[in-house]
Structure 1
Amino acid sequence: MINCIVIDDEPLAQENLVNQISKIPDLKLLGVFDSALDALPLISKGKVALVFCDIQMPDISGVSFLKSLKKSPLFIFVTGDPNYAIESYELDVLDYVLKPFGIDRLLKSVNKARALLEAQKTNLPDRDFLIIKDRSLNIIMPYNEIFFIKSDKDYVKMSTVEKDYIMYGRLSEIEESLSSTRQFLRVQKSYIVNLDFAKTVDGSCIKMKGNIKDIPIGGQYKAELYRRLGISSGEIS
């Protein structure tokens, strides 16, 4: 399943694109936005793999918006203006679709995205560590030495066997990099926990082994935590 969003300020064009996307089985539409700035919070969470975006829009153009992103999903520009094609490809845009278009043209773009995303999965190395940047050093931190990771505004604290590390970054980016691991799970807005160090779980917190601090559980994360642990939601209040 490919998580995608639509950004287009023209209602009819937006409606047509959403309708076409609904016909493609492996696309999951997470949101529809009139403005690129409105889409930024969702993109920043790292859950969007593909963006269908108009170019000429108020506040910020699609091209300028893409340039502003530090880490961007795949972009397909869907526009009635052919004049941005060269600049778009210089930005490594996945595809450039001119309005009006049919389902066959959109499907061609989605197939490109599907192939690229599959290739990225195949080429990812199997590893059991994170790289921690500490001043000029790149520290190799094995998963089994990380207790939990906590966000603090623009920084994250990683609590490990050796010590606590403070680094600039977003918890959502670390969550994305750990999404394929079995032991790490986001259990609260500000916490990712290594479940290998969990001792007991109740309705509000995870009590950790040894002297590791307790980890609070956020309401929206309970269901996935219980599922991961194989606990029925009815067993814990």
Structure 2
Amino acid sequence: MPSRTAPFTCLVLDDDLLVRDLAGSFVERIPSLVLAGAYDDALLAFERLAREPVDILITDIELPQLNGLELVRALRQPPQVIFMTSHPEYALPTYELDAVDFLVKPLRFDRFLRAIDKALLLLRARAAEAAPVLPSAGSPPEPTDEPDTFFIRTEFQFLKLRFAEVAYVEAMRDFVKVHLLDGTVHITLVNLKHMEEQLPPALFVRTHRSFLVNTSHIDAVTNQEVRIGKVEVPLGSTFREAVLAQVVQQRLLSRHPSRRA
């Protein structure tokens, strides 16, 4: 991964000339991006990425000789990857590769821009984690004994958050995105497993391999999701029983109160 923070380099790979040119033109419209190359051959793109890495790879999936999924698996240090395809059924395997996003053709600039924004958030978070954070001279020490708060490192600072303001935590490769109730999102270089181990287990519950939710903000639980206001967070089948036990059962009104365990 290149060490600089901006502009970020981007490589486009698609064997369809029209799509390749369109994606390249989208990249060139974004001031913080530089188009480092546009390829129609996955093997040539692989050689280029192995020799000269880029920050973001935007690649088709169905390619001759080596498809986009195989290309990413073959790279020792993949960049942030955005897949594009005409086949929505490829969404699951791209998710398993921790892709930043999955674009369904035909490409739209607004949707493309949203995918790029996700990639830039991750790249800037990585740059912030690599930079030292020094305390201000003469500043008093921050109290650390508040039981309802915790710190994360993000955007070149140590940021204090309250447990109560966290809606849910979302995994993204080695990072997590901490989603607050007011819609703010903070990214920090802690994986979800370690985040779960350090947050209060009475307050946070795993609903999915990629999501950790604040139980106090759950408004509804279905077979496939939990809802926090208008936000729908996936509920995996392997986590459903634990979620129901922690969130619902102790507060579920019964037709026969005397029979409750």
Return the TM-score normalized by structure 1. Answer: 0.51
The answer on whether the counterparts of 1:53 and 1:62 sit within 8 Å (CA) in structure 2 is yes
Deviation at 1:52, TM superposition (A): 0.5
Q: Which residue of 2 aligns with 1:168?
A: none
Instruction: Report how many residues are paired.
Output: 127
Out of 52, 71, 77, the position equivalent to 2:58 is: 52
The reply to whether residue 80 of structure 1 matches residue 86 of structure 2 is yes
Out of 99, 102, 108, the position equivalent to 1:102 is: 108
User: Which structure 2 residues correspond to residues 1-237 of structure 1 after superposition, within 5 A?
Assistant: 1-124=7-130, 126=132
Deviation at 1:78, TM superposition (A): 1.1
Deviation at 1:47, TM superposition (A): 3.4
SS at 2:62 equivalent? coil
Deviation at 1:37, TM superposition (A): 0.7
Instruction: Tell me, in whole angstroms, the C-alpha distance in 1 between the residues paired with 2:49 and 2:19.
Output: 21
Q: What is the alpha-carbon root mean square deviation over aligned residues?
A: 1.6
CA deviation vs aligned residue, 1:31-70 (integer Å, no higher than 9, x gap) = 1100111112221134301000000010011001111111
The answer on whether the counterparts of 1:42 and 1:48 sit within 8 Å (CA) in structure 2 is no
SS at 2:121 equivalent? helix
CA deviation vs aligned residue, 1:110-131 (integer Å, no higher than 9, x gap) = 10011100100111264xxxxx
Q: Which residue of 2 aligns with 1:224?
A: none
The answer on whether the counterparts of 2:82 and 2:99 sit within 8 Å (CA) in structure 1 is yes
The answer on whether the counterparts of 2:14 and 2:60 sit within 8 Å (CA) in structure 1 is yes
SS at 2:34 equivalent? strand
Instruction: Tell me, in whole angstroms, the C-alpha distance in 2 between the residues paired with 1:58 and 1:101.
Output: 21
Instruction: Tell me, in whole angstroms, the C-alpha distance in 2 between the residues paired with 1:86 and 1:105.
Output: 19
Instruction: Tell me, in whole angstroms, the C-alpha distance in 1 between the residues paired with 2:46 and 2:16.
Output: 19
Return the TM-score normalized by structure 2. Answer: 0.47
Identity %: 33
The answer on whether the counterparts of 1:77 and 1:93 sit within 8 Å (CA) in structure 2 is yes
Instruction: Tell me, in whole angstroms, the C-alpha distance in 2 between the residues paired with 1:24 and 1:52.
Output: 14
Instruction: Tell me, in whole angstroms, the C-alpha distance in 2 between the residues paired with 1:46 and 1:122.
Output: 23
